[in-house]
Amino acid sequence: MSAREPFPEGLPANGCEPRPEGLSEPCPDELPADDCEPFPENVRELCAEASDGGARLDAWLSGRLSADGLTRSGVARLIERGAVAVNGAPAPKNLRLRGGERVLVALPAPEPPGAVPQDIPLDVVYEDSDVIVVNKPAGMVAHPAPGHPDKTLVNALLWHCGGTLSGINGALRPGIVHRIDRDTTGLIIAAKNDCAHRKLAAQLQDHTLSRTYRCLVAGSPREDAGTIDAPIGRSAKDRKKMAVRADGRPAVTHWEVVERLRGCADLQCRLETGRTHQIRVHTAYIGHPVLGDPVYGTPRPDLTGQCLHAVGLRFIHPRTGETIELSCPLPEEFIRAREKRKL
């Protein structure tokens, strides 16, 4: 759909259109008996409930379409392009819903993967035809970005998976459902098709996809466990950093002490939300930054970066409905730093 093309008219009565070449097949339970969807594949039909009354259209849609990788600004662009119809007519992004509206959204078609496959070894923890989970090493960026055009996790996944990754997140982030920082190690999940991607992204929103981390933090918290409920947004002083701020997005981290060490503590953290740098920002906010963190703490000579490891991952398999629970061992550098600081 071009930038000024209006919402598509004349949708076919039965919605049967050829599936564009290169798109992954939908899950069997997403197709009706005659293998035809009610609208073309890129058109989504949503209905506002009575409880949605008073919500702004753009905010409501961003919540409903988060599993498709759309942010509020992305939804606003779709509305401005005429790709959203409310009760059959275009609507402004600030429209207040009353409840009961029928909303059609023409989603942008997934872009073909643009990253180049590269033969980079991967520590695969779990893999099937829908998902792959790897233990990411320190120093590996999740996907190509300015300053990191290649040698990323995406490049390695494209080689390993033969190009069969979901296209929802575009040309440079195929398959990526969530991210972990370059120097953070541990478990990260990627989707091999769009159906799996949508269902995993929905689990991130409703917290059925659970991520557990271990980290060494400076100092030792007084309590044995706690919850940090503090919103996170872009830092006003340094736009490359995140910070706790009143107008930030909700962020919740649950933590408990695994062991108290000399000058530091070993914590286990469970994310309820998934904001950028969340654990690093939250632990620094309570006065116990992650050991070795060069951005929110102090670099340490015996550490190459922050001592933070994604040790556990639990999710509901997008096809079978089975609960999958995975873990991976602490990296050697984490173990050495921990042993060095034993009481």
Which CATH number do you get for residue 132? 3.30.2350.10
Do 114 and 102 share a structural domain?
A: no
Q: Write the CATH number for 84.
A: 3.10.290.10
Residue at 325 is within a domain: yes
Q: What is the mean pLDDT of residues 237-257?
A: 93
Q: What is the mean pLDDT of residues 290-302?
A: 92
Q: Where are the beta strands (DSSP E) in 200-307?
A: 210-218, 225-229, 232-234, 242-244, 252-261, 264-271
Residue at 310 is within a domain: yes
pTM, two decimal places: 0.68
Residue numbers of the domain that contains 321: 207-343
Q: What is the mean pLDDT of residues 111-140?
A: 88
What's the pLDDT band for 43 if we cut at 50, 70, 90?
Answer: confident
Do 219 and 118 share a structural domain?
A: no
Mean residue pLDDT across the chain = 85
Quick check: 283 pLDDT over 90?
A: yes
Q: Does residue 225 come out as left (phi exceeding 0), alpha (psi in the -120 to 50 range) or beta?
A: beta
Q: How many domains does the chain have?
A: 3
Residue at 272 is within a domain: yes
Q: Given 106, 121, 152, which residue is the final one in a domain?
A: 106
The tens digit of pLDDT for each residue in 181-191 reads 999 999 999 99
**What is the per-residue pLDDT for 29?**
38
The tens digit of pLDDT for each residue in 316-332 reads 999 999 999 999 999 99
For 252-274, give one letter per residue: b (16+ CB within 10 A) or e.
bbebebeeebeebbbbbbbbbbe
The tens digit of pLDDT for each residue in 157-176 reads 999 998 788 877 666 678 88
Residue at 331 is within a domain: yes
**What is the per-residue pLDDT for 243?**
96
Do 125 and 81 share a structural domain?
A: no
Q: Given 178, 198, 218, which residue is the final one in a domain?
A: 198
Q: In angstroms, how far is the first alpha carbon of the chain from the final one? A: 63
**What is the per-residue pLDDT for 149?**
79
**What is the per-residue pLDDT for 170?**
67
Residue at 20 is within a domain: no
- Token representation of residue 306: 């922050």
The tens digit of pLDDT for each residue in 12-28 reads 333 333 333 433 444 43
What's the pLDDT band for 41 if we cut at 50, 70, 90?
Answer: low
Quick check: 126 pLDDT over 90?
A: yes
Residue at 218 is within a domain: yes
Strands 89-90 and 84-86: antiparallel
Do 233 and 213 share a structural domain?
A: yes
Q: Which residues form the catalytic set?
A: 181
Do 170 and 213 share a structural domain?
A: no
**What is the per-residue pLDDT for 114?**
63
The tens digit of pLDDT for each residue in 46-99 reads 999 999 999 999 999 988 887 776 788 888 889 988 899 999 899 999 999 999
Q: Given 198, 224, 247, which residue is the final one in a domain?
A: 198
**What is the per-residue pLDDT for 26?**
42
Do 128 and 80 share a structural domain?
A: no
Residue at 119 is within a domain: yes
Q: Find out whether 173 and 143 touch, Cβ atoms under 8 Å.
A: yes
Q: What is the mean pLDDT of residues 134-159?
A: 87
Quick check: 296 pLDDT over 50?
A: yes
Do 338 and 298 share a structural domain?
A: yes
Do 138 and 74 share a structural domain?
A: no
Do 332 and 255 share a structural domain?
A: yes
Q: What is the mean pLDDT of residues 195-218?
A: 94
Do 152 and 48 share a structural domain?
A: no
**What is the per-residue pLDDT for 172?**
61
Do 257 and 171 share a structural domain?
A: no
Do 119 and 101 share a structural domain?
A: no
Residue at 14 is within a domain: no
